[in-house]
Structure 1
Amino acid sequence: MKLISSKRAPKAVGPYSHAAILGKTLCVSGQLPLDPKTMGLVSDDVMIQTKQCLRNGLAIVEDAGSSKARIARVAVYLTDMDDFDRVNDVYETFFGGHKPARLCFAVAALPMAAKVEIEFIADLS
């Protein structure tokens, strides 16, 4: 196993790595909608937050040697399921025709008062 840290993504807000490589599988930790430079939330708007989570995750995926097209599974955590459609709009634009397997969970709260957190599993072969 190899642990990954990306300079293009926000620093971890806890005692964990950005990602771990197991064989040819990349497991990316949940990404919050943080600006990598300021470590602050990018916005209160869930659509802007979703876009930033996806950007942060993709930076880690690419830095580990994979690509958006190799993302196999995504897990989305929302503090309000009323945001589901808006998150889907951003998600669909981001992934285009690529449709990885996906989970979506409602949670009571997220770190730093984020409205959304997104994690990824990608193929490295």
Structure 2
Amino acid sequence: MPQHPKFTMVDNAPTPVGPFSHAAEADGWVFLTGQMPTDPADDNAPLPEGVAAQTRRVMDNLILVLGGLGLTLDSVVSARIFLTEFKRDYDAMNAVYKSYFVPKPLPARTCIGVTGLARDALVEIDFVARRP
């Protein structure tokens, strides 16, 4: 029988930039809200400079949420990446993103160019994970 969704806020994860939970879970599938390059310790701190630094912060924020759920990057099956400057930032973002997974297999992924993101971020990433 299907479970009712469970919604989770992770204590040490960044303050959400909108009205949502850090993650929603149903039937072993875990959907992580897209993370921004905000500082989890200080929501008012300036965003890091450049897409490489912002991608690192976003990935580290996603790892905080995964950890709060008892999961790791090994649990990630899919990612969606949103870039405001797709042509300019795609290669630099990819280099940082890939470094978090290699030599492990890479999750399925979609990367989309968008006209804007909250907080004027350059990148946002969300994950779908699966409990073992």
TM-score normalized by the length of structure 1: 0.95
Task: Please tell me whether the aligned partners of residues 47 and 121 of structure 2 are also in contact (alpha carbons under 8 angstroms).
Answer: no
The answer for the alignment partner of 1:106 in structure 2 is 113
Q: Match of 1:58? A: 63
Distance 2:46 2:99 in 1: 21
Partner of 1:124: 131
| Local SS of the residue matching 2:100 | helix
Larger Rg: 2
Cα distance in 1 for residues equivalent to 2:102 and 2:11? 26
Aligned residue for 1:66, secondary structure, equals coil
Q: Unaligned 5+ residue runs, structure 2? A: none
Aligned-partner SS, 1:104: strand
Corresponding residue for 2:54? 49
Q: Distance in 2 between matches of 1:120 and 1:6?
A: 15
Checking the alignment, whether the CA contact within 8 Å between 1:75 and 1:102 is kept in structure 2 is: yes
Distance across 1 between alignment mates of 2:28 and 2:103 = 24
The runs of 5 or more residues in structure 1 that have no matched partner are: none
Query: Root-mean-square deviation (CA), in Å?
Result: 1.0
State whether residues 33 and 41 of structure 1, in contact with CA within 8 Å, keep that contact through their aligned partners in structure 2. no
Structure 2: distance between partners of 1:109 and 1:44: 16
Q: Select 1:93's aligned residue among 87, 94, 99.
A: 99
Residues in 1 aligned to 2:46 and 2:15: alpha-carbon distance in whole angstroms: 13
Count of residues in correspondence between the two structures: 125
Alignment check: 8 A CA contact 1:80 1:106 kept? yes
3-state SS of 2:52 partner: helix
